[in-house]
Structure 1
Amino acid sequence: MEDDKIDKTISYYIVKMNGIVNFINSSNNLTVEQIIQSGKELSILEYKLTALEVAKEN
């Protein structure tokens, strides 16, 4: 049951990350602030994914 919740959360974060990456890649006129903010969001999501994957292994 717990693994199912972790898997769903991992999938959610992956969708969020892909959305941010697609936003960055499809935009031709991003401001520096938008690039920095997107990078911060990706970094946070990556840390969360790493923590979830570690929790899943244990």
Structure 2
Amino acid sequence: MEDKIEVTIAYYTKKGQDILDAVNSRNDLTADELIHYGEEMAIIEYKLTALEVANEN
């Protein structure tokens, strides 16, 4: 089971990095885009936190 959790953690870590890269590579983001990316990051961080807790138990 831990292997699946580790793979999932790696997946969401990559997705979060992709969002950060997308935001950092653009200078013309609108407020709506920033809000959208922020919401996506919040979801990813929530999932990562839950996965890390599950991995510890």
TM-score relative to the length of structure 1: 0.96
Q: Please provide the CA RMSD for this pair.
A: 0.4
Deviation at 1:22, TM superposition (A): 0.3
Instruction: Say yes or no: does 1:48 pair with 2:47.
Output: yes
Unaligned stretches of 5+ residues in structure 1 = none
Unaligned stretches of 5+ residues in structure 2 = none
Taking only the aligned residue pairs, the percentage that are identical comes to 53
Aligned residues: 57
> What amino acid maps onto 2:39 in structure 1?
K
Give the Cα–Cα distance (whole angstroms) in 2 for the partners of residues 46 and 19 of structure 1. Answer: 13
- Secondary structure of the residue aligned to 2:17 is helix
> What amino acid maps onto 1:20 in structure 2?
I
